[in-house]
C-alpha cells in the first residue's frame, strides 16, 4: 500500500494541482465586464487606467469584434456591460437586435455627428482613415491617384495590393456602392479586377509588400504605417502614405466605438466608462499609442505625424450602414473579387 | 425490446448514450438556429448556387489532403517502428510535433515566405503538414502493439520487405490508418485558418463570411448542418471500409520469448528514407520555426515572462484536463463500439463524430448558447472550457481508444470472467491495460489539438485567463509578430510533453509484452 502510494505520488500531486482551480473557480460579480473586440496590445493599458478612474474592478474579455457580437447575441443574459468594437458594423448589428442602451446626450455631443449612431446607441472612440500606401521608389508624388478612377489606369496593372477578406476593404466597397450606385460600383469593380490587383490576407502584409516594392500601391488604413515607423524606425521604412481626400471612397473614415448593453445592472458604471473613453486623457492615448485619430476636438498626437481629422475630407456616408454588408459581399462574389 | 448491447452491458451502454447526448448538444443548437426563420428561409439559404460550388471545393481539398496524409502517416510510422532508419527514436517524437502548429500559423508562415502558394495547393500543403500526425500516431501505436510474428512468417516464406509491408503490415494497420484518415478529413472540413490565409474559397469561408459580414447566425447554421451531414457520410464510409479488418493481427500479449520487435533493414533505401523524413520535418516544422526565428528579430520582440508562464500553465492545464475528460468519455463509447456492435452502438459512434466537422466559431457559439442556458453558473468558468474541449475533440479520443480495445484479444476478457472476476473489474484490469497504447494516443491527440484551439477558447475561457493560442492570436492580429513568436515557440515545446509521455507508455507496454509477464 505504502509503496503503491509513493510510486503514484507524482501523478496524484499533478492531479490535485490540475483540479485545484476547478474547485477555486469563481467569478467576480461586482466587476464591470467589457467585451473588447479591440486587442489588448492596443487598448490594454487604457482599460487599466479606466479601472483606476472608475474605482471598481473591470474584467475585460478580448476577442474578434464580429465573434463577440455573435456571442452577445447567443448568450441568454448578456454577460457584458459594455461592448467595445473595432468597427461600427458589429455595433450596428447589436443596435439592430435591440441589445444596446441609448447613451446620454452630453456624451454624444462631444463627438462629431458623422461618428455616432443616429439613435445614440453607440459612439465612436477613435477613427482611422483609408489611405493609399505607395513605394516612393516606383511612384513619384505627381503620379499618385487623385480619385477612385485613377486606380484603374493601365500603369497600375498588377501593381495594386488589396485585402479581399478584410473588413476595411469591404467597408470601402460599401462606400463605393453608396457613392457610385450599384451599377457604378459593379462597373468600377469589374475594371479594377481586370487591372489584375494583388490580393493579400491583411493590411500588414500589404504594407510590407509595398515597403519591399512587391507592389507599387496598397489600399490600407493609415495607422499600419505609423506603427511600422514606431516599430522599425523612420529611417528603415520605405513605404509612404497618400491621403486622397474629397468625396471619394478612397478617403473613407471608419471608427472603433463603444455601446452600453441594455439591461446591464452596472449601466451607470458602463456610462462612466464611455465618458472616460471620450475624455481628453483617453483621446490623447489613441493619438499617441495607437496612432488613431482622436474623435474629440483639440487633441493632437505628440508622437505621430497625423494630419488633423477635421482637416481630412471624407465621403458623406452613414457609418451604421456599414453593418449591412450583405449586398457588398453579393456584389464582390458576382464580380469575382471575394 | 432492448438492443443486444443494452442487455449484455447495461452500465456501459447507459454511459455511452449519455456521452453521445452530450456530444450531440451542439447539433441541437444548430437545428434551432437553422430553423429560426422557418423551413422555407432555411431552404432559401441552402439553395444558392454558391453552396454546391463551395461544397465541392471543400470535398476536393478534403479528399486530396486525407489521401496524402494516410500515405505519409503510414510511411512515417513504419519507418519509425519497423525499419532501421537512423535516429528513429528522435524522428518518432519529431513527427508528432506539427500537430501543435495551428493551421493559421502554418498558413501564415508559408504565405508570407511564398505568396505565390495562395489557392488550392497552398491550402493542401499546409493542411497536409499539420494533420498527417492524426494518421501517424495511431498507426505507429498499432504497429507497436501488433504481433511481428506475422511479418516474420511472411519473410520466412520468401516474401521481400516490400511485399511483406504491402501484404501484412499494411493490413495490420488498416483500421488505425482509416480512423486517422477520418480525423484528417473532419479537420480539413472544419478548418478556417489555412483556407482563409491561402484564399481558397472553401465551405467554412461561407460560414465565417455570414458571421463577419452580415452578423446573421441563421445562414451559418444552415451551412453548418450541411457539414454535419457530410461528416456523417464520411464517418459511415470509414466504418464500412474498416469492416472487419480489426480482426487481422492481434495485440501481442503474455510471456512469449523475449525479443525486440525486429527491424527491417532499409539497405539502399536508407538514404532516401532519411532524406524523405528530413524533408517532411523541414516543411512541417522547419518552415514555421524559421519564420518564428525571423519574427523574433523584429522590434516588437519582447518576452513578457509572467504572461508567457501563466499562458503556458493554463494551456497545459486546460488541455490536460480536456484530454483526461475526453478519454473518460471515450472509454464507454470505445468499449461499446469494439465489443458490443449493434445499431445503438453505431448510433453512439456517429453522434460522437457528427459535430467534429463544424468550424470552431460555430461549435463555440453552440456551447455559448447551451452553456449560458443549461449551466449558467459555470459559463465562462474553467469546467465549462474543459467540458467543451472534451466534447469538441471526443472523436480524436474515441478513434484511438476504440482501436486500442479492438486490437486487444477478447478471449483474455473471457478468461478473466471465467476466473470469477466481475465485468467491471475485468474492464479495469484486463481491457483497459491492454488498450493502454490506444488510450494514451487518444489523450495525446486531444491534448495537442486542444492546446492550439482558438475560437471556442476565446468564447469560453474564464475572463482574464489566456492560453498560448489566445496570446499568439492577440499578437499576430495587431501585426506584432516579434511578440507573437515566443508563444508559438512554447506551443511547440508544450507539444513535446505528450510526445515524450507517449514514448514512455510505448516502451513500458512493449516491455510488458515481451518481458515475460509483470
pLDDT grade for B510, boundaries at 50, 70 and 90: low
Q: Which residue of A has its CA nearest to B193?
A: A201
Neighbours of B448 (CB within 10 A): 28
Helices within B355-467 (DSSP H only): 360-374, 382-392, 394-407, 410-418, 423-426, 432-434, 436-452, 455-460
Q: Residue A223: CB partners within 8 Å, gap ≥ 6?
A: A128, A290, A291, A292
Question: Does the pLDDT of residue B166 top 60, yes or no?
Answer: yes
Mutate to test the interface with B, among A67, A99, A169, A335 (most CBs of B within 10 A): A67
Q: Are B348 and B19 in contact (CB under 8 A)?
A: yes
B360 min Cα distance to partner chain A (Å): 11
Of the ranges B36-45, B97-106, B190-199, B273-282, the best mean pLDDT one:
B273-282
**Kind plus residue range of the DSSP H or E element containing A35:** strand A32-36
pLDDT grade for A45, boundaries at 50, 70 and 90: very high
Whole-angstrom Cα distance, residue B117 to residue B366?
34
pLDDT at site B25: 87
Whole-angstrom Cα distance, residue B514 to residue A196?
65
The fraction of chain A above a pLDDT of 70, given in percent, is 90
User: Cell 453505431 maps to which residue?
Assistant: B346
B318 min Cα distance to partner chain A (Å): 8
Q: Which residue has the higher pLDDT, B71 or B117?
A: B71
- Give the CATH number of domain B26-242+271-514: 1.10.3720.10
pLDDT at site A306: 81
For chain B, helix (H) and strand (E) counts, in that order, are 28, 0
pLDDT at site B485: 85
Residues B213, A333: C-beta atoms closer than 8 Å: no
Q: Are A200 and A189 in contact (CB under 8 A)?
A: no
pLDDT grade for A170, boundaries at 50, 70 and 90: confident
Q: Which of the residue ranges A235-244, A263-272, B33-42 would you say has the lowest mean pLDDT?
A: B33-42
pLDDT, one tens digit per residue, over B198-254 is: 878 888 988 887 787 777 788 889 989 999 999 999 999 988 887 755 555 455 554
Question: Does the pLDDT of residue A1 top 60, yes or no?
Answer: no
pLDDT at site A5: 47
Of the ranges A11-20, A126-135, A195-204, B337-346, the best mean pLDDT one:
A126-135
Task: Please indicate if any CB of chain A lies within 8 Å of the CB of B298.
Answer: yes
Neighbours of B162 (CB within 10 A): 10
Whole-angstrom Cα distance, residue A171 to residue A187?
18
Residues A89, B474: C-beta atoms closer than 8 Å: no
pLDDT at site B300: 63
Interface of B with A in 450-509 (CB under 8 A): 455, 458-459, 462-464, 470, 474-475, 477-480, 483
pLDDT grade for A83, boundaries at 50, 70 and 90: very high
- Among residues B439, B445, B472, the alpha carbon closest in space to that of B458 is found at B472
Q: Which residue has the higher pLDDT, B46 or B136?
A: B136
Residues B217, A70: C-beta atoms closer than 8 Å: yes
Sign of CA dihedral B148, B153, B155, B161: negative
Identity of the residue in B214, B372, B477 whose CB atom sits nearest the CB atom of A76 = B372
Sign of CA dihedral A328, A329, A331, A337: positive
pLDDT, one tens digit per residue, over A316-335 is: 777 766 655 777 877 887 78
B32 min Cα distance to partner chain A (Å): 12
Q: Are B455 and B411 in contact (CB under 8 A)?
A: no
The CA-CA-CA angle for residues B23, B28, B34, to 5°, reads: 135
Whole-angstrom Cα distance, residue B129 to residue A239?
34
Q: Which residue has the higher pLDDT, B19 or B436?
A: B19
- The answer, yes or no, to whether ipTM is higher than 0.90 is no
Whole-angstrom Cα distance, residue B235 to residue B353?
7
Q: Domains in chain A, please, with CATH?
A: 32-127+254-308 (3.40.190.10), 128-252+324-335 (3.40.190.10)
Interface of B with A in 47-66 (CB under 8 A): 50
Residues B459, A71: C-beta atoms closer than 8 Å: yes
Question: Does the pLDDT of residue B515 top 50, yes or no?
Answer: no
SS3 of residue A221 by DSSP: strand
pLDDT at site B233: 93
pLDDT mean over B58-76:
96
Whole-angstrom Cα distance, residue A314 to residue B449?
46
pLDDT at site A17: 56
Question: Does the pLDDT of residue A6 top 70, yes or no?
Answer: no
Task: Please indicate if any CB of chain B lies within 8 Å of the CB of A70.
Answer: yes
pLDDT at site A139: 93
pLDDT at site A14: 57
SS3 of residue B273 by DSSP: helix
Q: How far is CA A320 from CA A87, A177, A255, B475, in A?
A: 10, 15, 10, 29
pLDDT, one tens digit per residue, over A47-68 is: 999 999 999 999 999 998 888 9
B383 min Cα distance to partner chain A (Å): 6
Q: How far is CA B375 from CA A291, A328, B328, B352, in A?
A: 42, 39, 21, 21
pLDDT mean over B310-315:
94
Interface of A with B in 294-313 (CB under 8 A): none
Task: Break chain B into its structural domains and give their ranges.
Answer: 26-242+271-514
Residues B215, A40: C-beta atoms closer than 8 Å: no
A39 min Cα distance to partner chain B (Å): 6
User: Cell 450596428 maps to which residue?
Assistant: A92
pLDDT at site B193: 86
Whole-angstrom Cα distance, residue A33 to residue A84?
11
Q: How far is CA B426 from CA A323, B254, B332, B410, in A?
A: 61, 16, 14, 11
pLDDT at site B36: 85
pLDDT at site A18: 56
Residues B321, A333: C-beta atoms closer than 8 Å: no
B460 min Cα distance to partner chain A (Å): 10
pLDDT at site B49: 66
Q: Are B176 and B142 in contact (CB under 8 A)?
A: yes
Average pLDDT, chain A: 86
SS3 of residue B466 by DSSP: coil
Sign of CA dihedral B449, B455, B460, B464: positive
Task: Please indicate if any CB of chain B lies within 8 Å of the CB of A51.
Answer: no
pLDDT, one tens digit per residue, over A93-146 is: 899 899 999 999 999 999 988 889 989 999 999 999 999 999 999 999 999 998
Identity of the residue in A60, A71, A89 whose CB atom sits nearest the CB atom of B365 = A71
Q: Residue B420: CB partners within 8 Å, gap ≥ 6?
A: none
pLDDT mean over B392-404:
91
Amino acid at each position: 500500500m505504502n509503496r503503491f502510494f509513493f510510486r503514484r505520488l507524482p501523478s496524484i500531486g499533478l492531479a490535485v494541482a490540475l483540479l485545484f482551480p476547478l474547485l477555486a473557480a469563481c467569478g467576480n460579480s461586482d466587476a464591470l465586464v467589457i467585451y473588447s473586440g479591440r486587442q489588448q496590445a492596443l487598448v490594454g493599458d487604457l482599460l487599466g487606467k479606466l479601472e483606476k478612474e472608475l474605482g471598481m474592478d473591470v474584467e475585460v474579455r478580448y476577442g474578434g469584434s464580429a465573434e463577440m457580437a455573435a456571442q452577445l447575441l447567443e448568450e441568454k443574459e448578456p454577460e457584458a456591460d459594455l461592448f467595445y468594437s473595432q468597427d461600427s458594423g458589429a455595433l450596428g448589428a447589436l443596435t439592430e437586435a435591440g441589445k444596446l442602451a441609448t447613451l446620454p446626450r452630453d456624451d454624444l455631443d462631444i463627438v462629431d455627428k458623422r461618428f455616432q449612431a443616429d439613435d445614440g446607441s453607440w459612439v465612436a472612440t477613435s477613427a482611422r482613415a483609408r489611405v493609399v500606401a505607395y513605394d516612393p521608389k516606383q511612384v513619384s508624388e505627381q503620379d499618385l491617384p487623385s480619385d477612385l478612377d485613377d486606380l484603374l489606369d493601365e500603369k497600375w496593372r498588377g501593381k495594386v495590393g488589396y485585402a479581399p477578406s478584410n473588413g476595411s476593404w469591404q467597408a470601402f466597397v460599401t462606400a463605393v456602392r453608396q457613392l457610385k450606385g450599384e451599377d457604378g460600383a459593379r462597373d468600377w469593380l469589374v475594371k479594377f479586377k481586370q487591372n489584375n490587383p494583388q490580393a493579400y490576407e491583411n493590411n500588414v502584409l500589404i504594407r510590407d509588400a509595398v515597403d519591399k516594392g512587391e507592389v507599387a500601391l496598397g489600399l490600407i488604413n493609415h495607422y499600419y504605417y505609423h506603427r511600422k515607423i514606431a516599430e522599425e524606425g523612420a529611417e528603415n521604412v520605405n513605404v509612404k502614405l497618400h491621403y486622397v481626400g474629397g468625396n471619394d471612397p478612397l478617403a473613407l473614415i471608419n471608427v472603433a466605438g463603444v455601446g452600453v448593453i441594455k439591461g446591464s445592472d452596472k449601466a451607470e458604471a458602463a456610462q462612466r466608462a464611455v465618458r472616460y473613453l471620450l475624455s481628453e486623457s483617453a483621446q490623447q492615448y489613441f493619438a499617441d499609442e495607437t496612432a488613431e485619430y482622436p474623435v474629440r476636438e483639440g487633441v493632437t498626437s505628440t508622437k505621430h505625424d497625423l494630419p488633423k481629422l477635421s482637416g481630412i475630407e471624407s465621403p458623406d456616408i452613414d457609418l451604421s450602414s456599414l453593418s449591412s454588408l450583405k449586398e457588398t459581399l453579393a456584389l464582390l462574389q458576382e464580380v469575382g473579387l471575394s | 425490446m432492448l438492443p443486444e448491447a443494452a442487455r449484455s452491458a447495461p452500465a456501459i451502454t447507459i454511459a455511452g448514450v449519455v456521452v453521445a447526448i452530450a456530444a450531440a448538444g451542439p447539433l441541437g443548437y444548430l437545428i434551432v438556429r437553422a430553423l429560426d426563420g422557418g423551413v422555407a428561409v432555411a431552404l432559401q439559404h441552402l439553395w444558392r448556387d454558391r453552396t454546391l460550388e463551395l461544397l465541392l471545393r471543400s470535398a476536393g481539398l478534403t479528399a486530396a489532403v486525407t489521401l496524402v496524409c494516410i500515405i505519409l502517416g503510414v510511411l512515417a510510422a513504419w519507418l519509425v517502428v519497423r525499419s532501421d532508419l537512423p535516429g528513429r527514436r528522435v524522428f518518432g517524437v519529431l513527427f508528432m510535433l506539427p500537430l501543435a502548429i495551428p493551421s493559421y500559423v502554418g498558413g501564415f508562415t508559408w504565405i508570407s515566405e511564398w505568396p505565390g502558394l495562395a489557392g488550392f495547393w497552398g491550402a493542401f500543403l499546409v493542411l497536409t503538414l499539420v494533420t498527417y500526425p492524426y494518421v501517424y500516431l495511431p498507426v505507429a501505436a498499432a504497429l507497436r502493439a501488433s504481433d511481428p510474428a506475422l511479418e516474420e512468417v511472411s519473410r520466412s516464406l520468401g516474401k521481400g520487405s516490400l511485399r511483406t509491408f504491402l501484404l501484412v503490415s499494411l493490413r495490420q494497420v488498416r483500421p488505425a490508418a482509416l480512423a486517422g484518415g477520418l480525423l484528417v478529413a473532419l479537420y480539413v472540413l472544419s478548418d478556417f485558418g489555412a483556407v482563409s490565409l491561402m484564399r481558397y474559397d472553401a465551405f467554412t469561408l461561407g460560414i465565417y463570411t455570414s458571421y463577419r459580414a452580415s452578423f446573421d447566425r441563421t445562414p451559418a447554421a444552415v451551412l453548418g448542418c450541411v457539414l454535419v451531414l457530410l461528416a456523417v457520410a464520411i464517418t459511415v464510409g470509414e466504418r464500412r471500409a474498416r469492416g472487419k479488418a480489426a480482426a487481422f493481427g492481434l495485440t501481442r500479449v503474455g510471456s512469449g520469448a523475449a525479443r525486440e520487435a525486429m527491424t527491417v533493414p532499409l539497405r539502399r533505401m536508407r538514404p532516401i528514407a532519411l532524406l524523405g523524413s528530413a524533408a517532411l520535418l523541414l516543411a512541417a516544422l522547419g518552415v514555421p520555426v524559421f519564420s518564428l526565428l525571423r519574427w523574433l528579430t523584429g522590434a516588437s520582440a519582447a518576452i513578457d515572462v509572467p504572461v508567457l508562464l501563466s499562458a503556458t500553465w493554463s494551456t497545459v492545464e486546460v488541455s490536460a484536463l480536456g484530454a483526461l475528460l475526453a478519454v473518460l468519455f471515450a472509454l464507454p463509447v470505445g468499449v461499446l463500439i469494439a465489443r458490443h456492435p449493434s445499431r445503438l452502438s453505431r448510433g453512439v459512434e456517429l453522434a460522437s463524430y457528427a459535430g467534429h466537422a463544424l468550424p470552431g466559431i460555430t461549435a463555440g457559439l453552440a456551447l455559448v448558447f447551451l452553456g449560458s442556458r443549461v449551466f449558467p453558473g459555470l459559463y465562462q468558468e474553467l469546467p465549462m472550457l474543459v467540458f467543451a474541449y472534451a466534447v469538441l475533440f471526443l472523436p480524436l479520443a474515441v478513434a484511438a481508444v476504440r482501436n486500442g480495445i479492438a486490437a486487444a484479444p477478447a478471449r483474455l476478457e473471457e478468461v478473466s470472467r471465467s476466473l470469477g472476476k466481475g465485468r467491471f473489474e475485468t474492464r479495469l484490469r484486463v481491457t483497459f491495460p491492454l488498450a493502454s497504447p490506444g488510450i494514451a494516443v487518444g489523450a495525446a491527440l486531444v491534448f495537442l489539438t486542444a492546446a492550439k484551439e482558438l475560437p471556442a477558447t476565446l468564447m469560453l475561457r474564464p475572463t482574464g485567463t489566456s492560453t498560448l493560442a489566445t496570446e499568439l492570436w492577440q499578437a499576430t492580429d495587431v501585426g506584432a509578430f516579434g511578440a507573437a513568436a515566443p508563444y508559438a515557440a512554447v506551443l511547440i515545446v508544450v507539444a513535446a510533453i505528450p510526445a515524450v509521455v507517449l514514448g514512455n507508455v510505448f516502451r513500458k507496454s512493449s516491455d510488458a509484452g515481451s518481458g515475460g509477464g509483470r
